[in-house]
Amino acid sequence: MFRKSLRRMSKAGILGVAAVSLLVLAAGCNTPQNQVHSAALANGQDMSGNETRSSSSMGTLNQKPKPMTIVRHGNNVTINMYTEETMVTIAPGVQFPAWTFDGTVPGPVLYLQQGDHVTLTLHNLDPNMPHSIDLHAAQVAPNQDFTEVAPGKSKTITFDASIPGVFMYHCETEPMALHIAEGMYGAIIVTPKGQQPPTYTIVQSEFYQAMDLNAVLNDPPNYVVFNGEANRYVDHPLEAKVGQPLTVAFVNAGPNDFSAFHVVGTILRDVQASGNPNNHLYDVQTYTVAPGDGALIHLEFNAPGTYAFVSHSMSQMEKGAMGEFNVTG
């Protein structure tokens, strides 16, 4: 009964929000940025008065995504990533003009192993503005490595994945809150030596009115989603089996709200804060993940059935932060 009510309320909420958001996002897509940004952005400045790099008159782009490439030779990993502006689906019938890593929101998961030496090159294919990448798993000087990449240019970062965990990456170009809200984020999984990658990786994030910094800083989100789309895993549940342990790598990309991750009908057996094997919380009912943080969550189901997973912040659940596990015998 709870599951049916949850599904009914969530779908009704999403349909209601979608009707409004189709109008809002359409207005954002068809309105010059100097009308939908805050007054500061309209004058070419961020909230601190610094000059922004994005054009206030550029139109919405829908660039063809270019996928990430990753090549491994032992512990040497070479990654090429690309930034584009492209349209993505964030709810049934709702398109969003996203700024992306490799054409998807969230960007591709970077699966690494503890001890990897990583060479990552970011290629900025966005003709309108610079972008950058901040890798939470990298212990480097940010003023040297997380700097802007101009349109048509590239930048190479090297780092050692020395600490295991579940991390976030995101664009750090100002205004950073807007770049994240527009879709520039993803997950990095650094697996400890001798362990397997997680069964599933889930990134929670928020969508606001397109290209509107004032909305990002001051308004509640229009959608709160798992892996880029409201209710993605209601219609397409994640598969699990009775008695078979599984792990969920969970990242909260924000940019603003804490997540309250909860699975209806079971207990989170072992939660590792930031995904680090040195951090354990056992038998947790709901786990809070701050924006910019992650966790590795261990689950096991005792009986077949359908188990909803949600952010137990009810406004987030109603706005799309809900999915389901389909557990078979």
Distance set, CA 84 to CA 107, 170, 228, 249 (Å) = 11, 14, 16, 26
The CA distance from 130 to 107, in Å, is 17
The pLDDT tens digits of the residues spanning 242-258 come to: 999 999 999 999 999 99
Model pLDDT, residue 32 = 31
The CA distance from 45 to 58, in Å, is 16
Model pLDDT, residue 264 = 98
Residue 227 lies in a domain: no
The CA distance from 202 to 186, in Å, is 10
Residue 287 lies in a domain: no
Do 115 and 73 contact (CB within 8 A), yes or no?
no
156-171: buried (b, 16+ CB within 10 Å) or exposed (e) per residue?
A: ebebbbebbbbbbbbb
Residue 138 lies in a domain: yes
Residue 308 lies in a domain: no
The CA distance from 28 to 231, in Å, is 23
| Residues of the chain with confidence (pLDDT) below 50 | 1-2, 5, 19-24, 26-58
Do 307 and 263 contact (CB within 8 A), yes or no?
yes
Residue 139 lies in a domain: yes
Residue 102 lies in a domain: yes
Residue 282 lies in a domain: no
The CA distance from 86 to 64, in Å, is 7
Q: Write down the residue that tokens 């969230």 correspond to.
A: 106
What does pTM read for this prediction? 0.86
The pLDDT tens digits of the residues spanning 257-269 come to: 999 999 999 999 9
Name the domain count of the chain.
Answer: 1
Closest alpha carbon to 11 in 19, 204, 115, 244: 19
Strand order from edge to edge, sheet including 236-241: 236-241, 322-328, 305-311, 259-263, 286-289
Do 206 and 226 contact (CB within 8 A), yes or no?
no
Residue 226 lies in a domain: no
Q: Which domain holds residue 183?
A: 40-50+61-195
Model pLDDT, residue 60 = 78
CATH number of the domain to which 133 belongs: 2.60.40.420
Model pLDDT, residue 14 = 55
